[in-house]
Amino acid sequence: MAMELALVATCSEERPLLVLEPLYGNYLAFAKRLGIRIESIPLNLNNDSIFDLPTLKEIEDKIKEVNPGAL
């Protein structure tokens, strides 16, 4: 319930939730139930089977592109 309240307070149809993917599956259900769009930045699996974080520029570019309500 707390996560849903946070989404309602910060996101809307025009201000999506920006997530790093793979993501916590309940975020999808919460957003769908509340009518909030999700935008994602995919993480890449490196040769050591560890997810590489996106660069700061990639995150900044996505923020400028989608104007999220929350990250």
Task: Classify 56 as helix, strand or coil.
Answer: helix
pLDDT of residue 63 exceeding 90, the answer is yes
Pick from 6, 36, 70, 20: which is nearest to 28 by CA?
Answer: 36
- What average pLDDT score do residues 9-25 get? 89
Q: Quote the percentage of the chain above a pLDDT of 90.
A: 68
Q: What is the pLDDT of residues 47-58, one digit of tens each?
A: 999 999 999 999
DSSP annotation of 70 reads B
Question: pTM higher than 0.95, yes or no?
Answer: no
